[in-house]
């Protein structure tokens, strides 16, 4: 069978979404089902790992069944199964990995363990069945990976070849959104809540600090978070209403400026042809607008629905390993702290 027609069933359970998807040729999405636990965790203001595992157990097989049904396929029409091996919550990863192993064993299909961070980048290759594909990203490229757990600048010289240029020294960008949202009494997850609150705010109302670091490709968001906290506390000390919209807009503008300027500088310094922006924070409208507002580099940003955790991206990354001729047994374990650069 031609590579472009290989179908991969992707399975994702690294955090608080149970997801399954079927992708053809690493690009065409036939189905993409995400069972979100956000409502469950919102009451705790963040992910509650024990509850997440229990929910994955409940949701994993129905989610896979829905992915097959939505694609009008059965398991025999799939060429391989790809599953998130890490990084993520150990107890959550294990549910997806064990379900995938059981399905691979029963069906005789090859099983491909996938790095979740790599998969976020491969979301840039995806499009829905029936929709016109955009041009494929061209190498060498700079990938800005911004999620709840990671913030990293990566140089990709080719498929599956990653060189980490720098990463966050403290909080991830998404984590900063989540923590600042909590300070402002906004809902979980913080990214979409801050984006919504910022719509009515002035992004120049406050001048929040951008960390100056030894390496131009590293990030730090803890000072920014502390600056926001001080500002909020100052209003509380004077029993004044906190101007949530202005603080949210100024915070968001500071994060966007940091991510945008470092990524553009990295692309210029490393003579990249193109840029990919991926991970949950790449759903942010202001960040997307910043990259779209320049014309130095072609920038690929996944569709908003593919920025946050999903299994189509797992299938897309799995496809690359499949066509790379890699094969794996069934005796691999989860890797909760697996970095990106060793996954090639």
- Residue ranges in contact with ligand KG4 by CB under 6 A: 15, 147-149, 174-175, 177-178, 189-192, 195, 279-281, 283-284, 308-309
Compare residues 32 and 109 and give the one whose CB is closer to ligand KG4. Answer: 32
Q: Least distance from C-beta 53 to ligand KG4, angstroms?
A: 16
Rounded Cα distance between 257 and 286, Å, is: 10
Compute and round to an integer the Cα radius of gyration of the chain: 20
Compare residues 26 and 302 and give the one whose CB is closer to ligand KG4. Answer: 302
Q: Considering the rule CB under 5 A, would residue 63 count as an interface residue with Zn ion?
A: no
Q: Considering the rule CB under 5 A, would residue 309 count as an interface residue with Zn ion?
A: yes
Taking alpha carbons only, the member of 56, 100, 11, 15 closest to residue 280 is 15
Binding segment for Zn ion among 32-40, 125-133, 306-314, 315-323 (CB under 5 A)? 306-314
Please select the residue that binds Zn ion; options are 147, 168, 252, 263, rule is CB under 5 A: 147
Q: Least distance from C-beta 120 to Zn ion, angstroms?
A: 6
280: left (phi over 0), alpha (psi -120 to 50) or beta: alpha
Q: Least distance from C-beta 72 to ligand KG4, angstroms?
A: 28
Rounded Cα distance between 340 and 167, Å, is: 11
Rounded Cα distance between 184 and 187, Å, is: 9
Length of the chain: 344
Residue 96 contact partner, candidates ligand KG4, Zn ion, none, CB within 5 to 8 A by sort of partner = none
Residue 319 contact partner, candidates Zn ion, ligand KG4, none, CB within 5 to 8 A by sort of partner = none
Element holding 229 (H helix, E strand):
helix 222-237
Q: Least distance from C-beta 309 to ligand KG4, angstroms?
A: 4
Structural tokens at position 243: 């101007």
Compare residues 63 and 147 and give the one whose CB is closer to Zn ion. Answer: 147
Q: Considering the rule CB under 5 A, would residue 84 count as an interface residue with Zn ion?
A: no
Residue 24 contact partner, candidates ligand KG4, Zn ion, none, CB within 5 to 8 A by sort of partner = none
Which residues 20-59 are close enough to bind Zn ion by CB under 5 A? none
Q: For residue 26, how many other CB atoms are within 10 A of its CB?
A: 22
Q: Are 252 and 198 in contact (CB under 8 A)?
A: yes
Rounded Cα distance between 4 and 243, Å, is: 52
Taking alpha carbons only, the member of 202, 208, 207 closest to residue 223 is 208
Compare residues 172 and 264 and give the one whose CB is closer to Zn ion. Answer: 172
Q: Considering the rule CB under 5 A, would residue 85 count as an interface residue with Zn ion?
A: no
Residue 231 contact partner, candidates Zn ion, ligand KG4, none, CB within 5 to 8 A by sort of partner = none
Q: Are 191 and 280 in contact (CB under 8 A)?
A: yes
Compare residues 8 and 259 and give the one whose CB is closer to ligand KG4. Answer: 259
Binding segment for Zn ion among 107-115, 140-148, 261-269, 293-301 (CB under 5 A)? 140-148
Q: Considering the rule CB under 5 A, would residue 16 count as an interface residue with Zn ion?
A: no
Structural tokens at position 163: 């060189």
Compare residues 68 and 168 and give the one whose CB is closer to ligand KG4. Answer: 168
Which residue is it, tokens 């029993």? 239
Compare residues 24 and 254 and give the one whose CB is closer to ligand KG4. Answer: 254
Rounded Cα distance between 176 and 252, Å, is: 10
Q: Considering the rule CB under 5 A, would residue 282 count as an interface residue with Zn ion?
A: no
Q: 29 has which bridge partners? A: 23, 128
Q: What are phi and psi of 302, to 5 degrees?
A: -60, 155
Compare residues 278 and 286 and give the one whose CB is closer to Zn ion. Answer: 278
Q: What are phi and psi of 111, to 5 degrees?
A: -115, 130
Triad 255, 257, 260: Cα angle to 5°: 105
Compare residues 246 and 309 and give the one whose CB is closer to Zn ion. Answer: 309
Residue 113 contact partner, candidates ligand KG4, Zn ion, none, CB within 5 to 8 A by sort of partner = none
Residues found near Zn ion in the complex (CB under 5 A): 147, 309
């Amino acid at each position: 069978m031609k590579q472009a027609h290989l179908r991969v069933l992707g399975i994702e359970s690294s955090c608080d979404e149970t997801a399954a998807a079927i992708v053809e040729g690493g690009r065409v999405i036939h189905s993409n089902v995400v069972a979100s636990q956000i409502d469950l965790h919102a009451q705790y203001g963040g992910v509650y790992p024990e509850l997440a595992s229990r929910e994955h157990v409940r949701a994993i097989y129905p989610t896979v069944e829905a992915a097959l049904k939505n694609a009008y396929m059965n398991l025999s029409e799939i060429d391989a199964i790809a599953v998130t091996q890490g990084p993520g919550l150990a107890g959550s990863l294990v549910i997806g990995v064990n379900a995938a192993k059981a399905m691979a064993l029963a069906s005789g299909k090859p099983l491909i363990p996938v790095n979740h961070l790599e998969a976020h980048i491969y979301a840039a290759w995806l499009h829905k069945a029936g929709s016109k594909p955009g041009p494929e990203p061209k190498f060498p490229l700079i990938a800005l990976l911004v999620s709840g757990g990671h913030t990293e600048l990566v140089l990709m010289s080719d498929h599956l070849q990653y060189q980490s240029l720098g990463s966050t020294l403290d909080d991830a960008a998404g984590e900063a959104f989540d923590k600042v949202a909590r300070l402002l009494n906004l809902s979980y997850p913080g990214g979409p809540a801050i984006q919504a609150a910022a719509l009515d705010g002035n992004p120049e109302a406050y001048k929040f600090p951008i960390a100056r670091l030894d390496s131009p490709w590293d990030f730090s968001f803890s000072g920014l978070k502390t600056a926001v906290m001080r500002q909020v506390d100052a209003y509380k000390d004077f029993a004044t209403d906190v101007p949530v919209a202005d603080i949210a807009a100024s915070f968001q503008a500071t994060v966007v400026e940091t991510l945008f300027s470092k990524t553009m500088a990295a692309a210029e310094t490393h003579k990249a042809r193109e840029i990919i922006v991926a991970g949950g924070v790449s759903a942010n409208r202001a960040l997307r607008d910043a990259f779209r507002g320049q014309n130095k580099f072609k920038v690929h940003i996944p569709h908003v629905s593919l920025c946050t955790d999903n299994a189509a991206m797992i299938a897309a990354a799995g496809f690359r390993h499949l066509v790379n001729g890699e094969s794996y047994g069934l005796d691999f374990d989860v890797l909760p702290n697996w970095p990106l650069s060793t996954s090639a």
